[in-house]
Homo-oligomer: A and B are copies of this chain.
């Protein structure tokens, strides 16, 4: 294998596959990046137990300035390799596989000789079922992930809750995540979906996936295999394992009747919650209290050692019964952040029942649920 290539183009590909490469793996070859060079271009692969990423850089890509002298394949230690390429002196780099899987990396006067591993020993990626279940814009999928992924559980005690539940049926795609204290559910309409599915994708995989996309205007196709999902863009294959087991029925958790409603601008409410949580974060119980009465909404936070805070909130509209309710301000902050700066309506039933947050724009099917904290 021998190739000369633009360093920046190469680094860009490396950065993507590196998201899948962990230095902590117990399988030594997986600490490496697999480089496979054909007459068509360069394929890089990185993999760990949960995800595998493959990128393809075409020989026709002009920026890449690819000069292929000999095709072939090799596996190189990902961590060093990236560092070396990054620090080379000239705009291009030449990689040449020599005897004993040694690789010469040259750029200007600098010459590295590094030890590689035989690419034959690199594990094979799952075989792809080419049947596409779904194709959506990267931008839409990324937004869906941001709107729900934060609400997954970080506890391994209920593994199924560490993923986001995606259900495709009746031309709609529903994404739901919950850690049993809060829930976020987003539903979008799709016009051209073919085969329905019901899968749970690990939250961590989705996080890496959304960081791996390079162009949010292109399309990503989603294919489901036995216990894997493949997200495919024009030059990236992103595989993730699926979580096994049955996701709880979250539909029955979402209340439909309420006694009080209040509408806020997200930015204004976020700032006030932020202030109230400054002190609650120091207390044993991280809670703030919201009081609705006499057309006033007041938030309270306190810490026995430091002091207390109260603030009358600016709202857009208010209706219903008076109420005092306590909750974890961090759940509220995360929920508000997921909405972006819009107006949201918060609907309450009682101090001990979960409350909901929804955009005032009823065209957006997006609902969040937060369980309050009982204080007496």
Interface residues of A (CB under 8 A from B): 77, 80, 83-84, 87-89, 102, 109-115, 271-272, 274-275, 278-279, 282, 305-314
Contact = CB atoms under 8 A, between A and B. Distances in A.
| Most chain B CB neighbours (cut-off 10 Å) among A115, A305, A307, A314 | A307
A280 B143 CA distance: 43
Nearest to A312: B109
A76 to B, nearest CB: 10
B313 A109 contact: yes
Contacts of A88: 275
B278 A84 contact: yes
A87 B311 CA distance: 13
B309 A87 contact: no
A292 to B, nearest CB: 16
A307 B115 contact: yes
A114 B111 CA distance: 62
B110 A272 contact: yes
B278 A83 contact: yes
B84 A115 contact: no
B307 A102 contact: yes
A278 B83 CA distance: 7
11 contacts: A84-B309, A87-B274, A87-B278, A89-B272, A109-B313, A110-B309, A111-B309, A111-B311, A113-B308, A115-B305, A115-B307
Given A87-B278, A115-B306, A278-B83, A311 B110 contact: yes
A307 B116 CA distance: 9
Contacts of A310: 110-111
Contacts of A313: 109
B89 A271 contact: yes
A309 B271 contact: no
Contact of A278 (B80, B272, B275, B312): B80
A313 B313 CA distance: 65
Nearest to A304: B115
Task: Please indicate which of the listed interface residues A114, A305, A314 has the most CB atoms of chain B within 10 Å of its own CB.
Answer: A114
Given A80-B279, A110-B272, 15 more contacts: A80-B278, A80-B306, A83-B278, A84-B275, A84-B309, A87-B271, A87-B274, A87-B275, A88-B275, A102-B307, A109-B312, A111-B310, A111-B311, A112-B279, A113-B309
Contacts of A274: 87
Contacts of A278: 80, 83-84, 87
A50 to B, nearest CB: 27
Nearest to A89: B271
Contact of A112 (B89, B282, B307): B307
Contacts of A77: 306
Contacts of A309: 84, 110-113
Nearest to A77: B306
Given A87-B275, A271-B89, A114 B311 contact: no
A260 to B, nearest CB: 21
Contacts of A314: 109
Those 6 A-B pairs whose CB atoms lie nearest each other, nearest first: A114-B307, A110-B311, A112-B309, A109-B312, A113-B307, A87-B275
A80 B307 CA distance: 10
A234 to B, nearest CB: 33
